[in-house]
Chains A and B, each alone.
Chain A
């Protein structure tokens, strides 16, 4: 069993829809949780960062962490075609060595 599980999708939604992405994990030591966005043929870039449990909002993006369920989510409101990318969850216990999910490919249709 992988340490971090993420549904690879792909996910296709119409413009303006809410995109919901999630990951589950098995390592209870994880306390740093991140979402990276990766455009085609590019390197990943940090999108959201959360320490421990709770919610974090940044514009159209909301990240949620539920440590009791070992479950994290990313919501994208009012999705745009420019949001089309692969989204990778990542987490760490020590904050320097990350464990990544497989990534979910999202397409937002205009």
Chain B
């Protein structure tokens, strides 16, 4: 099925462990994003990627690493998890702007990965 999928949906880990959240999209969208959602903060951008092998920091990148070797995959790694990284993580994708800049700006979100760091 076409869409954007995240795995795992739920993860419990311990402080100091490495965790990788996976994101896969089937539309061949150029842009992909990782957000975290916390109560009172809404969605905050962690990292984004404009194309394969092109990534850039968002608003809250510290403690996270991303890679994008293939257009369809955009994994997010917490190298040494901390309790403050307990959150719901959303991956999103969108296509390139249209010729007249007519892209709707719509992001397509996955269903989220709920991470708890003990």
**A59 located at the interface, meaning its Cβ lies under 8 Å from any Cβ of chain B in the complex:** no
**A49 located at the interface, meaning its Cβ lies under 8 Å from any Cβ of chain B in the complex:** yes
Pair B42/A101 contact, Cβ less than 8 Å: yes
Q: What interface size band does chain B fall in?
A: 20 to 34
Known contacts A42-B112, A43-B110, A88-B42, A95 near B103 by CB under 8 Å: yes
Residue of A nearest to B101 (CB): A95
Pair A95/B105 contact, Cβ less than 8 Å: yes
Q: Kindly state the separation between the CA atoms of A18 and B101 in the bound complex, as whole angstroms.
A: 34
What residues of B have a CB within 8 angstroms of the CB of A41 in the complex? 111-112
What residues of A have a CB within 8 angstroms of the CB of B48 in the complex? 96-97
Q: What is the distance, in angstroms, from A3's C-beta to the closest C-beta of chain B?
A: 9
What residues of B have a CB within 8 angstroms of the CB of A44 in the complex? 43, 90, 107, 109
Q: What is the distance, in angstroms, from A7's C-beta to the closest C-beta of chain B?
A: 11
Residues of chain B in range 14-28 having any CB-CB distance to chain A below 8 Å: none
Residues of chain B in range 65-109 having any CB-CB distance to chain A below 8 Å: 90, 92, 94, 97, 101, 103-107, 109
Q: What is the distance, in angstroms, from A38's C-beta to the closest C-beta of chain B?
A: 8
Residue of A nearest to B56 (CB): A97
**A interface vs B, CB < 8 Å?**
4, 6, 8, 32, 34, 41-46, 49, 88, 90, 92, 95-98, 100-103
